[in-house]
């Protein structure tokens, strides 16, 4: 993570001192940026929601230090600087084996471009600094080299699947895309006679065989309702479900599995927070801060709650690259700010938001922080504790898991003070017609029979990603993003919307004289699936004066040949 810029720290300090000029401030604890008052102004403390239990906390505004918790072996809990990029991804037990190695008769036909010659630049070695950037996002000014993701020694092979070229990269710097593609049966098909290129990963990701198997094996052998029976299958199903919760907790760097609530996905999880924290603690005149680049799922639930409670929504603007304007954010933060709800990565522009820095700033005002990880979890390691958020949400289907399952992280200190959302079975301790007492978290937030089989599928997906390693995935996607950005930018009349220095592997673009729908259809005819439309993030696109864009988005199983095919279609449309 980059250090706080000195001018930003000075601004925070000035603002806090200005607003608390009547309030004496005390010393600065370790870990707090120099110049920032350690104790929030008294007026902020007074405006904290009256949360039972908070009073007993010595300093409800204190920023918890990120600690290494009970999951020391989790790659995501490992600080980025200590990761060793030279360690090759471990073999994937779920892999369906290595592709048969054969020389393709005509590599140009297979890949839609010439095979690399001796003069093709060798892969750029990934430095520690490079890894850091990959993990935190992409900088456009980085020199672009094609074929980065394939490794200098990339070997082109024809695999078992229908004429679709794969690239076997035995080097530690790239993923073995050929082998990975073998794990995803859906990729082995043609659409309109062309090999399917799935470049719609921001909408949903494809599922590896291990996930498909985990779900079908659960139904074939272990299916039962959970938590409520003495029989063997109930015990097995309960164990499988709870193991999935533990896996999610480790994946997010949570303190304990008790911090993880299963939900249908990101949308439902945000609604849960809005309808518990929001309805219980928001008051008239309170403010909810959202960024300009939020998905509708992180706008509409807050609007609904704000309307009921008389609270106000304030929007953090972005600059012309689609990056948060931090001094505007600082200006908007004030003692009335109750919640800051931010996407970790924008699904329409790709921008990665500096959520850890933003959370730290929000905490100075006693605000709660929700991070929407729908577009980040599959691209970068996440640690909810070092991020300093109170809530973190994501959807399983965006990270190679099933639809209909997702997770909500709730920081421990909020477990008891949040009311339940839905009522029913599973979430109670005792029920009489007069009164019900509730279970502890997480059961308190999971009324009714949960989506057991898909939780099992989600566990398989997270295990799969962990075996490959998010830093390796991030590095591969970074190369694809740079490659596509460079090629698309060179097309006359094409405008990329969202050019943030820190991006996940999403590109939004428009092409003069062609509707986004027309481009999407032309790409489909070539077997290439991309999203065209408003991406459920209308305010973010309107900020740039457009209603819709074409949005290719890349994942671990994509390769440079697919990008070349996409660029060829767009280039030929541009010539018309
Ligand atoms: N937030 C973001 C950033 C998203 O990209 C999405 C899905 N496109 C959502 C929220 C909503 O996710 P879901 O539909 O899985 O609930």
Q: Got the DSSP string for 386-435?
A: HHT-SEEEEEGGGGTS-TT-EEEEE-GGGTTTSPPSS-STTSEEEE-SS-
The structure's pTM equals 0.76
Q: Contact, 264 vs 288, CB < 8 A?
A: no
Closest to 500 measured CA to CA, from 104, 140, 167, 169: 140
Query: For residue 576, what pLDDT is reported?
Result: 87
Q: Which of 342, 348, 398 to mutate to test the pocket of ligand 1 (most atoms within 8 A of CB)?
A: 398
Atom of ligand 1 nearest to the CA of 268: 16
What does DSSP assign to residue 33? Answer: P
Collect the ranges in the chain with pLDDT lower than 50.
Answer: 1-5, 9, 12-14, 16-173
Query: For residue 228, what pLDDT is reported?
Result: 77
Query: For residue 11, what pLDDT is reported?
Result: 55
Query: For residue 553, what pLDDT is reported?
Result: 98
d(CA 221, CA 198): 32
Pairing of β 312-316 and β 194-195: unpaired
d(CA 76, CA 260): 16
DSSP string of 206-255? ---HHHHHHHHHIIIII----SS--SHHHHHHHHHHHHHHHHHHHHHT-S
Helix (H) or strand (E) holding 261: strand 260-263
d(CA 450, CA 28): 45
Which structure tokens are listed for 346? 């924008």
Q: CB within 8 A of 326, min separation 6: which ones?
A: 8, 354, 357
Query: For residue 229, what pLDDT is reported?
Result: 82
Residue 69 gets the label, from left (phi > 0), alpha (psi -120 to 50) or beta, of beta
What does DSSP assign to residue 107? Answer: H
Would the CB of 396 count as within 6 Å of ligand 1?
no
Would the CB of 271 count as within 6 Å of ligand 1?
no
Q: Compute how many other C-beta atoms are within 10 angstroms of the C-beta atom of residue 123.
A: 20
Query: For residue 47, what pLDDT is reported?
Result: 36
Would the CB of 201 count as within 6 Å of ligand 1?
no
Which structure tokens are listed for 293? 């680049």
Distances 89 to 85, 188, 251 between C-alpha atoms, Å: 9, 23, 17
Angle (deg, nearest 10), helices 560-575 and 516-525 = 130
pLDDT digits (tens, 9 = 90+) for 54-97: 333 333 223 333 333 333 232 222 222 223 333 233 333 333 32
Query: For residue 117, what pLDDT is reported?
Result: 32
Q: Which of 272, 292, 536 to mutate to test the pocket of ligand 1 (most atoms within 8 A of CB)?
A: 536
Q: How far is the CA of 368 from the centre of ligand 1 (A)?
A: 21
d(CA 240, CA 459): 9
Query: For residue 142, what pLDDT is reported?
Result: 30
Would the CB of 372 count as within 6 Å of ligand 1?
yes
């Amino acid at each position: 993570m980059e250090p706080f810029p000195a001018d930003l720290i000075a601004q925070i300090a000035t603002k806090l001192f200005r607003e608390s000029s009547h309030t004496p401030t005390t010393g600065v604890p370790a870990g707090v940026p120099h110049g920032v008052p350690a104790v929030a102004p008294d007026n902020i403390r007074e405006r904290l929601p009256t949360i039972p239990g908070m009073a007993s906390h010595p300093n409800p505004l204190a920023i918890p230090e990120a600690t290494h918790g009970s999951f020391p072996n989790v790659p995501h809990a490992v600080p980025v600087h200590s990761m060793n990029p030279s360690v090759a991804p471990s073999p994937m037990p779920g892999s369906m084996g290595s592709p048969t190695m054969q020389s393709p008769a005509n590599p140009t036909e297979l890949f839609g471009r010439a095979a690399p010659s001796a003069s093709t630049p060798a892969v750029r070695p990934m430095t520690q600094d490079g890894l850091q950037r990959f993990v935190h996002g992409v900088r456009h000014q980085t020199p672009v080299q094609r074929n980065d993701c394939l490794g200098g020694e990339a070997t082109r092979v024809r695999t078992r699947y229908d004429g679709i070229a794969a690239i076997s990269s035995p080097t530690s710097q790239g993923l073995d895309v050929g082998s990975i593609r073998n794990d995803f049966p859906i990729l082995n098909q043609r659409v309109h006679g062309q090999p399917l290129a799935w470049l719609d990963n921001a909408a949903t990701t494809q599922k590896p065989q291990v996930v498909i198997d985990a779900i079908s094996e659960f139904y074939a052998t272990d299916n039962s309702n959970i938590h409520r029976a003495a029989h063997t299958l109930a015990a097995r199903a309960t164990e499988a479900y709870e193991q999935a919760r533990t896996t999610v907790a480790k994946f997010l760097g949570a303190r304990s599995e008790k911090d993880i609530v299963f939900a249908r996905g990101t949308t439902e999880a945000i609604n849960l927070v809005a309808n518990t924290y929001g309805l219980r603690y928001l008051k008239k005149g309170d403010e909810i801060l959202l960024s300009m680049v939020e998905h509708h799922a992180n706008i509409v639930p807050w609007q609904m709650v704000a309307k009921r409670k008389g609270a106000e929504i304030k929007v953090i603007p972005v600059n012309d690259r689609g990056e948060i304007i931090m001094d505007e954010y600082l200006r908007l933060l004030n003692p009335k700010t109750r919640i800051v709800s931010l996407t970790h990565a924008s699904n329409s522009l790709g921008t990665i938001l500096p959520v850890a820095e933003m959370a730290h700033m929000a905490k100075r005002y006693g605000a709660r922080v929700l991070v929407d990880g729908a577009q980040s979890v599959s691209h970068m390691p996440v640690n909810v504790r070092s991020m300093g958020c109170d809530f973190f949400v994501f959807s399983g289907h965006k990270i190679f898991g099933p639809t209909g399952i997702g997770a909500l992280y709730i920081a421990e200190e909020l477990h008891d003070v949040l009311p339940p959302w839905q009522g029913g079975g599973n979430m109670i301790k005792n029920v009489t017609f007069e009164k019900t007492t509730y279970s502890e978290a997480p059961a308190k937030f999971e009324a009714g029979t949960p989506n057991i089989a898909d939780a099992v599928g989600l566990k398989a997906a997270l295990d799969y990603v962990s075996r490959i390693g998010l830093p390796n995935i991030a590095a591969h996607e970074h190369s694809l993003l740079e490659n596509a950005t460079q090629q698309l930018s060179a097309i006359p009349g094409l405008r990329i919307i969202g050019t943030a220095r820190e991006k996940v592997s999403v590109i939004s673009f428009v092409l003069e004289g062609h509707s986004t729908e027309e481009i999407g259809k032309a790409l489909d005819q070539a077997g290439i699936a991309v999203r065209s439309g408003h991406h459920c993030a209308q305010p973010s696109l309107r900020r740039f004066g457009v209603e819709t864009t074409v949005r290719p988005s890349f994942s671990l199983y994509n390769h440079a040949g697919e990008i070349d095919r996409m660029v060829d279609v767009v280039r030929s449309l541009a010539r018309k």
